[in-house]
Amino acid sequence: MTRKGLRFRLDGGRTIWPVLGLIALLVLNLIFSERFFHLEILDGRLYGTLVDVLNQGSKVMLLAVGMTLVIATGGVDLSVGSVMAISGAVGAVLVARREIPFPALVAGALSAAVLMGLANGVLVALAGVQPIVATLIFMVLGRGVAMLITGGQIITFEDRAFVFLANGHFLGLPLTAAIVALVFAGTALLTRRTAVGLFIEATGDNETASRLCGVNTRMVKVLVYGFSGFCAGVAGLIAASNIKAADSSRVGEMMELDAIFAVVVGGTALTGGRFTLVGSIVGALLIQVLTTTMYNLGVPPAIAPVPKAALIIVVCLLQSEQFRRHFVRRRQTARPTVPETG
């Protein structure tokens, strides 16, 4: 009974591997760097490496939430990095006009991001363009649009509310962590407390059958890309707030790949179907802890991608049923298998 309960919470066992990977990394840090787990409270705010991980990882976590839904429908969204740039650019341009209140600024930036996402969705679902091609178009186009918005310049700002977004605290923790928690909880509610999650998984698992069941598979697809755009928009505002500037050419670069890694490592298959938001968050944290660890251990940034790639390969291999059957025999008996009937 307890094992069943645990298995359920961990989304059928797939999430267990990134969780184990995360624990292993933390243990490694516990051994090699005592500073890693050091926390202190200053002015009622928590500081320390772990807090930094949450703060730094917030962007990839946000992207991963949106990316999870896209990947669950069998697609992929390569445009999120560029959408981040657009959202940041719109935010920075709007903040320069003092008369615009902060909520309107956020709304403006996020609308631009959602619009980009929906455009992806329309290309994929209605025009039948391959997701990788459609979003690649917007990946290239989006950065150009962001450059247009900022006029090719890096626009800096000092607006207190905007800067607070990535640098402020809430209940002693970075505000970014609270934003991630909010978006995550909202998404979890939206997908699991309505039938949206079921429709997404059904569409990704067998689109034809779902359509014949009356599921509006096209609408599902348009919406997940729109939502991915929304998540990228939030991440883009945080990224701009972080450096108090909109840097259209650099912000969010390669971050779409981190987000895809996080989702896949987290246990959602690129072929679509079943998804796990918790897994994706764990995957994003895993990537961030690894980055931070390497930074702490003094690994030069130039070779940092190598251990990152190695870790991702290990987790993916562990998730592969085939690989485990060959190399980890003992696990086999631990996994309850469903008997074939008839």
Partner 1 sequence: MGRDMSEPLLRMRGVSKTFPGVRALSSVDLTVRAGEIHALMGENGAGKSTLVKVLTGVYPKDDGKIYFAGETIAPASPREAESAGISTVYQEINLIPRLSVAENILLGRQPARFGFLNWKAIHRKAERALERIGLRIDVRREAAAYSVAIQQMAAIARALDVEAKLLILDEPTSSLDEREVEDLFDVMRRLRDRGLAILFITHFLDQVYEIASRVTVLRNGERVGECETANLPRLELVAKMLGKDRAELESGGELRTAGTKRAAPGVPADSEPTREAFFQVRGLGRRGGVEPFDLDMREGEIVGLAGLLGSGRTEMARLLFGVDAADTGQCLLDGKRFAPSSPRKAIDRGLAFCSEDRKTEGLVPDLSVRENLILALQASRGPLRLLPRKEQMEIAGRYIRALDIRTPSLETPIGNLSGGNQQKALLARWLAIQPRLMILDEPTRGIDVGAKAEIEKLVQSLRERGMSILFISSELEEVVRNCRRIAVLRDRKKIGELTGPDIDERKVMRMIAETNEGRDSRGGVPAVPNDPPREE
Site residues for partner 1 per CB under 8 A: 193-196, 198-199, 201-202, 205-206, 208-216, 273-274, 338-342
Q: How far is the CB of 18 from partner 1 (least distance, A)?
A: 20
* Of 185 and 213, CB closest to partner 1: 213
- CA–CA separation, 283 vs 197, rounded Å? 20
- CA–CA separation, 312 vs 158, rounded Å? 38
Q: How far is the CB of 223 from partner 1 (least distance, A)?
A: 9
Q: How far is the CB of 267 from partner 1 (least distance, A)?
A: 13
* Of 192 and 331, CB closest to partner 1: 192
Q: How far is the CB of 192 from partner 1 (least distance, A)?
A: 9
* Of 167 and 206, CB closest to partner 1: 206
Identify whether the C-beta of residue 294 lies closer than 8 Å to the C-beta of residue 305. no
* Of 99 and 340, CB closest to partner 1: 340
Runs of H (alpha helix) within the chain: 2-9, 16-32, 49-72, 80-96, 102-121, 131-150, 160-167, 175-192, 196-205, 207-212, 217-243, 255-266, 277-296, 305-319, 321-327, 329-334
* Of 33 and 206, CB closest to partner 1: 206
How many CB atoms sit inside 10 A of residue 13's CB? 16
Beta-bridge mates of residue 245: 156
* Residue closest to 47 by CA, chosen among 180, 195, 208, 169: 169
Identify whether the C-beta of residue 163 lies closer than 8 Å to the C-beta of residue 245. no
* Of 149 and 200, CB closest to partner 1: 200
- CA–CA separation, 7 vs 19, rounded Å? 13
Q: How far is the CB of 188 from partner 1 (least distance, A)?
A: 14
Q: How far is the CB of 325 from partner 1 (least distance, A)?
A: 17
- CA–CA separation, 100 vs 156, rounded Å? 17
